Chains A and B, each alone.
Chain A
Amino acid sequence: MLRFVSRYPVPLLVVGALAVVEGGLRYSEARLSGDVAQIEEAPRQVRYAARDSGAGVLMLGNSLLAEGVDQRELERALEANLGRDVSVAKVTPDGTTPLEWRYLFRKLVVRTGEKPSVLVLAFGPGHLWDRPGASQVLRLAVHHVAAGDVGMLFNEELTDIESRAEFLTARVWRSYALRDRIQLRLLDLVLPHFRTERAKLLRRPGSEGGSHHDVADLRNLRELLEDAAGAGIHVILLPMPAPHLWPVEGPVETLARTLSVPILDVRDKVSLEPERFPDGEHLDALGREAFTEALGPQLGRVVQSVMAGSEVPLREE
């Protein structure tokens, strides 16, 4: 052993230092990013929504939902509306779409058997489309995919050797898996205008223009809806407000109709001026309050109907 150490001191020192860095990162991961802390909180949220007493509503989405709905206020509104105990839980990892939601749902709900009564999928414009090549391999590896679903992910999403290698590396090496977050933190600290300029530089020419999609581009959403139906969970689609009213795309409506999933659109029930979106995308506190207030009774009505097994209009406005 001593001979080995004296013969290869440099590789051993490097590996040792990498191990220390790895340990440090695993220990302080949640402090590195609010998003990580939130994802780590997700299993507790799902358990809360799956409590035996009363109705459980699990809301799944991204930062639009995180900033756009007040969980406790909504819970109170639903309880008042339904006249029973209600548990509202929110799982909102940043920048996610149905691909991540689907694997997260399988990991936290299907595989654990912790089932809420209703699943609300909150989405913004263009969020429901599959994005080939844009899937967040690193986050899928660490947070969203259960070990038993890795094969499925490889067959359906990560079909090339490069992305599979990236996934597996991220799965075992946290320093690698967190590199985007570390880079963001590090460069944001030292480089002026890092976020805005980097986003500008990485924008591909023509990417601003809308592209044509059809139902085939909603594969992950369809799978998620089918998984939920298979688990006996009612699903509601919830378009989130934006500074300008955006239409729910035709193929999304078609898929929802095919699978009998109601779309609950309450955006016209509340007046949200552009000032309520200080960053041009997410609601501020006042906007969140107003939207939650408008959502409560409407969601209560739909939740009551779906749980009673009665017919719900597919387009609730």
Chain B
Amino acid sequence: MLLVASYVFYGAWDWRFLGLIAISTIVDYVAGLRMAAADGATRTRRRWLTASLVTNLGLLGVFKYLGFFLESTADLLQFLGFEPNIPSLRIILPVGISFYTFQTLSYSIDVYRRQLEPTSDFLDFALYVSFFPQLVAGPIERAKRLLPQVQNPRSPSGRDLSVGSYLVLLGLFKKVVIADNMAILVNHIFSQTPGSLSAWDCLVGVYAFAFQIYGDFHGYSLIAQGVSAWMGFHIMDNFRHPYFSRSPQEFWKRWHISLSSWLRDYLYIPLGGNRRGRVRTYVNLLTTMLLGGLWHGAAWTFVVWGGIHGGWLALHRWISERSGSDPAETGWPGRMLKMFVTFQLVCVTWLFFRADTVGQAWSFMLSLGGSWHLTPLSEYGFGLIGLLCLPMVAYEAWVERKGDLMALVDAPVLARAFFYLVLLLGLVWLSAPAPSEFIYFQF
């Protein structure tokens, strides 16, 4: 039933791409069983792992990156004085392909590493790959966690229902009220020539995008978690108040956790992690983040975004090693300062993430060194950010202090009722006049 629902859900967008998800599913299902059957035969196991990697990364390569690489090659050849005759491809990116290929790859790799017993039930495995709440934008669930939940009978408890309702409501609020309102501001500012904007305008655009992408992606993840909870599934937390981070390392432990932990386990550690010397560690960090950036989208802006994060992680690690202590460990004024600085640096990286080109991002950076005068746009923008985002930040600070993401579910009845009422009325009265698509659907 859930499998059919998941395929109908995905097929409703474009039924032709059901074939891709089916191919990934079949290849990894067979690869899992063959690797287990090969037991001691390392070459056979490696051959089946390679088949899984080639199939999944091949699909991703063709549908997501081929056009970009051909275009970039043509640009390079042109720059070198050649006249390339490379056709430009217009390939539709299948929604969610980056998420489900990584999810199914983790299964094959875990089976290869003997960290997971493969399942012999094809339908269970197919549901694990295509589970509709998190199919198109994650969280990227590991088989170790989700597959047993698929295989065993579930009966949602009363708490599952209330946790699910809390998550769905909060997720909707984050998306419809925060992200979509910020999107209108961001789209306007990023469609202007930076020269026509004051430095405050640019700053509003950057901050608004920081809250847009957080509200948008966290909102989706919460809705996915909540809907899953209603059905008795427990999906991982994908965010843990990332803007309270005090270092880049901490940021990546709190932001898009399912991807950052995937990159750590299946890329950074296999590359050698921090076990092969200082320089190699920095190179590994940079490589991992560059590929993480490229995972987000086939564009140089994402590569630069990943590169800056990689460089920042390496630099922070170098400073930590030189000072001999974790720079995040200080008193509360120091912690606040570090939180502030980390947020500002994260915002700088968001500039590259949001810009259409690296050139545009750079122009915005230069505009920040320009004229600092408040305009009606910046006053309105800061007002809107303050009105919609700051209460959410204050709420998250309270949750952070409690140390439990579900603190509200256990709060007193009146507090809960008040919170839900505010969310509901906010959804009705403060929703954006023009909705926008989830950002991560394009990845």
Contacts and interface: CB of A to CB of B under 8 A. Distances in A.
Contacts of A205: 191
A191 B387 contact: yes
Interface string B330-342: 0000000000000
Contacts of B384: 191
A26 interface: no
Nearest to B413: A9
Given A10-B416, A14-B417, A190 B185 contact: no
Given A179-B429, A202-B184, A14 B380 contact: no
B421 interface: yes
Interface in A153-202: 175-176, 179-180, 182-183, 186-187, 190-194, 196-198, 200-202
A201 B380 CA distance: 11
A191 B428 contact: no
B417 A9 contact: yes
A182 B380 contact: no
Contacts of B376: 192-193, 196-197
A21 interface: yes
B95 interface: no
A173 to B, nearest CB: 8
A18 B421 contact: yes
A10 B185 CA distance: 35
Given A191-B383, A193-B379, A197-B377, A186 B429 contact: yes
Residue among B379, B383, B428, B430 facing the most chain A CB atoms (10 A cut-off)? B428
Contact of A14 (B377, B383, B420, B428): B420
Interface in A1-38: 9-10, 13-14, 17-18, 21
Nearest to A181: B429
Given A194-B380, A197-B376, A17 B417 contact: yes
Given A18-B424, A179-B428, A186-B429, A193 B380 contact: yes
B185 A14 contact: no
Contacts of A179: 428-429, 431
A191 B386 CA distance: 10
Contacts of B431: 179
B184 A201 contact: yes
A192 B380 contact: yes
Nearest to B376: A193
Nearest to A17: B421
A13 B425 contact: no
B385 to A, nearest CB: 10
Interface string A55-97: 0000000000000000000000000000000000000000000
Interface residues of A, number: 27
The interface centre, meaning the residue of A21, A197, A198 with most chain B CB atoms within 10 A of its CB, is A197
A13 B425 CA distance: 14
Contacts of A14: 417, 420-421, 424
Contacts of A191: 380, 383-384, 387
The DSSP consensus for interface residues of chain A is helix
B430 A183 contact: yes
Interface string B382-421: 0110010000000000000000000000000110110011
Contacts of A201: 184-185, 188
B434 interface: yes
A197 B208 CA distance: 15
Contacts of A182: 429
A238 to B, nearest CB: 31
B429 A13 contact: no
Interface string B184-196: 1100100100000
Nearest to B185: A201
Contacts of A190: 383, 387
A267 to B, nearest CB: 34
A278 B28 CA distance: 70
Contacts of A10: 162, 413, 416-417, 420
Contacts of A9: 413, 417
Nearest to A173: B428
Nearest to A176: B428
Contacts of A17: 417, 421
Contacts of B414: 13
A187 B384 CA distance: 9
A222 to B, nearest CB: 30
Contacts of B324: none
B383 A202 contact: no
Among B184, B191, B417, B431, find the residue whose CB has the most chain A CB atoms closer than 10 A: B417
Nearest to B381: A197
Contacts of B184: 201-202
A202 B433 contact: yes
B379 A21 contact: no
B169 to A, nearest CB: 10
Given A194-B380, A197-B381, 11 more contacts: A18-B424, A175-B425, A183-B430, A191-B387, A192-B376, A192-B383, A194-B383, A197-B376, A197-B377, A200-B188, A202-B184
Interface of B: 162, 184-185, 188, 191, 376-377, 379-381, 383-384, 387, 413-414, 416-417, 420-421, 424-425, 428-431, 433-434
14 contacts: A9-B413, A10-B413, A13-B413, A13-B417, A13-B421, A17-B421, A175-B425, A182-B429, A186-B429, A190-B383, A193-B377, A197-B377, A200-B377, A201-B188
8 A-B pairs closest in CB distance: A13-B417, A197-B380, A193-B376, A191-B383, A192-B379, A201-B188, A193-B380, A9-B413
